[in-house]
Structure 1
Amino acid sequence: MQFSLFQPLPYFAPELPTGWPQSPSKFAPRYGLDSVRHNLEIIEAADEGGFDYIAVAEHHYAARQLCPSPTLAAALISQRVKNAKLAILGVDLPLHNPVQVAEELAMLDTFSGGNLLVGLFRGTPNEYATYGHNPGESKAMFEEGVELLLSAWSEPEPFGWEGVHYRHRMVSIWPQPVQRPRPPVLVSGNSPASAEFAAKHRLKIGLSFMPVEFIPKAVTGYHEAAERHGWKPGPEDVLWRGFAHVAETDEKAKEVAKKYNFGDLHGILAPTERQAPSFLSVVSEAMEAGFGGAFSGGGGAVQTPTPQPILGSPDTVVERLRAVQEAGVGIADLILSSDALPPEVVLEAVNLMCKDVIPAFR
């Protein structure tokens, strides 16, 4: 199994803003600069210690993730890492022009020496309050956008595109990606429909925050869909994302998680009192448009329990990750940071991962 450090690029400060969106007045340049330094220290430790990927993702208006532009963040990180590959996991594609995204990612693939893994997603529901996009159209926009982006990377001659949501008289991007036929691309596999879409286009899948007991059903559904489309995925085509904290003992890991509320998945979606009415309206529309829900392996998506973070000593974490691997996962994309967790605690956990956990899988 390979390992990816998903670094959300949190804002480390003594007093953290709450709710979403977060007030710009709460941003202190001093702590912003400190946060950049701390995040780069964590990334460099992971790179030197044996992580296979360093991953970032697009999110807006929040201290938890200072990364509205994952392509820009990955470009900066590429100048600091020497061993790991870059993973953008991912771009919220319906919020952007897919041709421009294809150009920027191709440029990054070229400048990084062909070391890029690309994740394309619809984004969390709150993102549709960011730029005023219609969440009800996001699924159709996403699927057409993926097809347009893949065509921009594969068509040998300039071409036009007349779709439902995107129209371009001319598409002819330079540079092309250096990875041929294209960089590996990953999309969500958390529902039967998304797994079917991935299989149709021979893409990898990501299972975000899915409890381990649900993973085999999702993987089986993905494999069955791929078989219908004439190919067979391997473990390297399945990525699982979850929170993890490694400490010297199980007790210490649990104490840290409790003290800093580590692994809280929904905090970023909690609106301020002022923003609650309009925000909840957008989220409601987004959920009706098909966001959320995990793979049931049957005829539709079902809501799964909130996943618990992987916590414990190195031995315990190895045991927990073995279960993830045996469920069919080839890449573990682990979140070891949060805005509330002190950077020195994160760095200690990263070092323990590199020293005692990752070697157990080599």
Structure 2
Amino acid sequence: MPILPDTKFYAWHFMPYTDLPENIDDFDSLWVDFPNKYFDPKAGHAFYQRYLSELVLADKLGFDGVCVNEHHNTPYSLMPIASVIAAALIPQTTKAKICVMGTPAGLDQPHRLAESYAMLDVMSGGRLEVAFPLGTPMEYWSNSVNPVTSRERQQEALDVIIRAWTEDGPIRHEGRFYNYRYLNIWPKPYQQPHPKVYLVGSGSPGTIELAAQRGFGYSSTFSPIATQLAAQKTLKERAAHYGHTITPDQIPIVCMVYIGDDDESALAEMEPHVRYFFTTLTKAGRFIDAPGYLSLDEFKKRNGRMLPSSHGGAFDWHQIRQQFRVVAGTAKTVADTIEKWAEEAGSSRIIFQIHRGDMPHWKVVRTLTGLANEVIPMLKARQIHADDQPLNVAAE
């Protein structure tokens, strides 16, 4: 079946700050120690206004969800606190789910995350979804948490968050990193027992195992397609071991997309922005390594690299398109490609990265409207044909 029943379509924005100095290539890294004197508050205000309007447009066009995420000490993202962006979106949107992809659970106080996410869920009337990353190595250079303890902290923080959401308080928690005499959050989540939860990673076996243990969804980032498919296969197998069944909506696929008049011109129009993303915004220099962030076995497996070579590495447009879910072309080309990827992964959650690098507003709007008015209807029509029954589509 090409497009699974109940497939949902999300729009994801990274919100970068791209008003950077002309000599930006002279800097070894745009993460952690890139001087914040280069931030212009007036330019930042304009970026926020523009980027929020693009996500609000996605809701108005009928996308099923919008995604925001969190990074620190970098112009790569203007979202050091993704919950604030989510709160700004709630009163400006009506139907779209808001997926916060998200604060690393071990880098904050878990009761604070539990109560802030519960508050967002109540404010939105149950439209919140949450994805917990471990955080890139760069986040651990930017915060005071020892990366050696990052995975243990993440696991215990998730224990606290889920208990806070699902158990009537006050309750006690006595752990290695967190202790509460009165865990008793107000408010509790709107959705019962709690909002949909995913883990986000780059293929680490430890993260996949944690998702499998808890029956959470899982999404790979900055990993080649083959690596992502292998991770999803492992997740399903390990989750079954723990008595969980992973459903198609728990394994979202993320696609970089751009829609143009024809395939050739669309590729040419998309390429410089993807190049800027991979060669400038993701350049992390020595901060790509954080001692203790990976287990020794995983560190050896990755040849001493914390993240895949695409992260801030050399740019090969052909290789990028071969290894990752990157597509530019006519609406039909994009629809055909997305259909193939969705069928291959067995996923019913398609996340479109609608903005890349320094892409201008008009290109984002063109892609959003092309997806909403042409690509998604094509895919829904094929879904109806494949399933041979009417659909209850949230965007309609």
Distance 1:224 1:302 in 2: 24
- Number of residue pairs the alignment of both structures matches: 351
Q: SS of the counterpart of 1:91?
A: coil
> What is residue 10 of structure 2 aligned with on the other side?
4
Instruction: Provide the residue aligned with 1:298 in structure 2.
Output: none
Q: 1:287, CA displacement in angstroms?
A: 4.3
Shift of 1:105: 0.3
RMSD between superposed Cα atoms in Å: 2.7
State the match for 2:375 in structure 1.
357
**Aligned counterparts, 1:127-146, within 5 A:** 127-146=139-158
Q: What's the offset of the Cα at 1:186? A: 0.5
> Which of the numbers 335, 349, 364 marks the counterpart of 1:318?
335
Name which of structure 1's ranges 106-115 and 159-168 shifts more when overlaid on structure 2. 159-168
Q: What is the alpha-carbon distance in structure 2 between the residues aligned to residue 63 and residue 81 of structure 1?
A: 26
1:342 is matched with which residue?
360
8 Å Cα contact 1:125-1:291 kept in structure 2: no
Q: Does 1:199 align with 2:217?
A: no
Q: 1:262–1:338: 8 Å Cα contact kept in structure 2?
A: no
2:198 aligned with 1:186: yes
Identify the range of structure 1 (186-195 vs 29-38) with the bigger mean alpha-carbon deviation.
Answer: 186-195
Superposition deviation, residue 304 in structure 1: 8.4
8 Å contact kept, 1:250–1:312: yes
Distance of aligned partners of 1:330 and 1:351 in 2 relative to their CA distance in 1, 3 Å threshold: same
**The one of 285, 290, 303 aligned to 1:283:** 290
Listed one character per residue, the Cα deviations across residues 1-40 of structure 1 (whole Å, up to 9, x for unaligned) are 2111111122353757562243222122221121122112
Deviation at 1:124, TM superposition (A): 1.1
Paired position in structure 2 for 1:42? 54
Indicate the larger mover: 321-330 or 74-83.
321-330
Partner of 2:260: 247
- Shift in CA distance, 209/257, structure 1 to aligned 2, threshold 3 Å: same
**Structural mapping, 1:78-93, within 5 Å:** 78-93=90-105
For 1:286, give the aligned amino acid.
Y
Correspondence for 1:175? 187
Correspondence for 1:57: 69
Secondary structure of 1:218's counterpart equals helix
Cα shift at 1:48: 1.4
Alignment check: 8 A CA contact 2:97 2:129 kept:
yes
Amino acid corresponding to residue 221 of structure 1 in structure 2: T
**CA 1:259 to 1:51, structure 2 compared with 1: closer, same or farther past 3 Å?**
same
Question: 1:20 aligns to what?
Answer: 31
Q: Please list every run of 5 or more consecutive structure 1 residues that lacks an aligned counterpart in the other structure.
A: 296-300
Which whole-Å deviations, capped at 9, do the CAs of 1:263-316 have from their partners, x for residues lacking one? 744644424xxxx56x35x53443457888999xxxxx9968764322222212
Relative to 1, partners in 2 of residues 1:242 and 1:91: Cα closer, same or farther, differing over 3 Å? farther
Equivalent residues of 2:67, 2:101 under 8 A apart: yes
CA offsets per residue over residues 296-353 of structure 1, 9 Å max, x none?
xxxxx99687643222222121122112211222212222213411122112111111
Change in 2 beyond 3 A, CA 1:302/1:36: closer
TM-score computed with the length of structure 1 as normaliser: 0.88
Distance 1:89 1:72, change over 3 A: same
Q: Which amino acid aligns with 1:337?
A: H
Which residue of structure 1 lines up, in the alignment, with residue 170 of structure 2? Answer: 158
Matching residue's letter, 1:283: A
Question: For residues 162-201 of structure 1, what are the alpha-carbon distances to aligned partners after superposition, in whole Å with 9 as ceiling and x for unaligned?
Answer: 1112112220101000100111110136333322221221
Q: Which moved more, 1:32-41 or 1:15-24?
A: 15-24
Shift in CA distance, 238/68, structure 1 to aligned 2, threshold 3 Å = same
Residue in structure 2 matched with residue 218 of structure 1 by the alignment: 231
1:66 aligns with 2:78: yes
What SS does the aligned partner of 1:178 have? coil
Output the CA distance in 1 between the equivalents of 2:114 and 2:215: 18
Mark the CA change 1:302 to 1:337 in structure 2 (over 3 Å): closer, same or farther.
Answer: closer
For 1:192, give the aligned amino acid: P
| 1:218-266: CA deviation from partner (whole Å, max 9, x where unpaired) | 2222222222222322111111224222222211221123323447446
1:82: Cα distance to partner? 1.7
Where do 5+ consecutive residues of structure 2 fail to align?
A: 1-6, 311-319, 381-396
Q: Which moved more, 1:164-173 or 1:214-223?
A: 214-223
Alpha-carbon distance in structure 2 between the residues aligned to 1:137 and 1:179: 31
Conservation of the 8 A alpha-carbon contact between 1:257 and 1:263: no
Cα pair 1:191 1:293 within 8 Å, conserved: no
Asked whether the equivalents of residues 276 and 357 of structure 2 are also in contact (C-alpha less than 8 Å), the reply is: no
**Relative to structure 1, is the Cα distance of residues 227 and 167 closer, same or farther in structure 2, using a 3 angstrom cutoff?**
same
- Name the structure 1 match of 2:120: 108
Matched position secondary structure for 2:290: helix
Structure 2 SS opposite 1:139: helix
**TM-score, normalisation: structure 2:** 0.81
SS in 2 for 1:109: helix
Cα 1:53–1:106 shift into 2, 3 Å: same
Q: 2:283 and 2:20 mapped to 1: Cα distance?
A: 20
